[in-house]
Structure 1
């Protein structure tokens, strides 16, 4: 679990750093401009981290399923080699999708307005500004989004249904409460993240809808994940207290 949590924390940190500093500078200086290369870079980073987070969240739900429903098999089913393979596969697929989208939109002819009605660069927004026929690319992205969004959300739903059934069969109310408490908060954020991502990338593009949905797929999960996965964990809280005490004693 902590192996995947460390990757999730890294993704959230990089996601925020790729969006918020530039957005803050624009608000302060009132200079709402970005170069094409900078825009493509932001698209690549956002797609890479967003796709990897989708797949890692699905892997984490499977990890919780094995831990709760198959605890005796956990050391075998979630050994280090398997965790590394799942992690590499998630990063590889999301990198492939991000690279393909970025390389496609880079050479497009932009003969319309150069104003993006968004707080970040998003490839559907650039496609709207292009004067070429992009219908084939749009259809192909639906397949990629199916792999990154619908398949992982199916894994997550199946895992949590199995966990819920296992909890309902459990005799110990304490273990049931702990299992539900661990998974319910995770499922709430996952539901917000996936639903907004599907509304953004699997429905017809509109600027207003895309801006609202992007907040819930980039900024909000990165803000909530530390509270859900870390500050609600007793071991992490104990380590944080020890660190604070050590800092106070050092002073």
Structure 2
């Protein structure tokens, strides 16, 4: 940790000293998570020792995969023990799913070694375990598979291309720092929500599971890089302003 006693940092200096990107620091400022109150003689915002200490707390909690909104609440007088407890419960549920998935995959590997090809039942069971490990119930998996069978590969691919384009738009809006209440961002949030609902066949429980997976695992990990963390945070802020996800 850098020495914080009595020093002041411009945003670029703090980024270089801590290894946090300027973009991330600006994003933390935009969402009210880390807002330097002091200004230099030239009018630039500067970070104090207290700001740096808060930044290190933010980074420590982010390593635990806590959502940024819960980090803010915890640092601003919320119940940190309750927040950590909820995160621990989620991790323990995922571990149960991952252990089941591990067991299924070992069975498939052994079947491949013994017979050269796993049975259809084994494949389906493994798919179910994968979805359960990823926050989906078997019923949601069945509905999701039925929806994809109904759409066909070409239509499903079209929905994914549409989501990929919208994710890039959201990343660009986040980079520009566009206000989430701006009509362009609100329209983007509406189109994103419609695309996710379309891919899920309008099934609200599947949409909820998709968003739950993104929140729990992080946008980039949950979507295999399709949706960046700044893009997802910007969409969530747009939803919070006046647009409900999955509506």
**TM-score, length basis structure 2:** 0.29
The structure whose RCO (Cα within 8 Å, separation 6+) is larger is 1
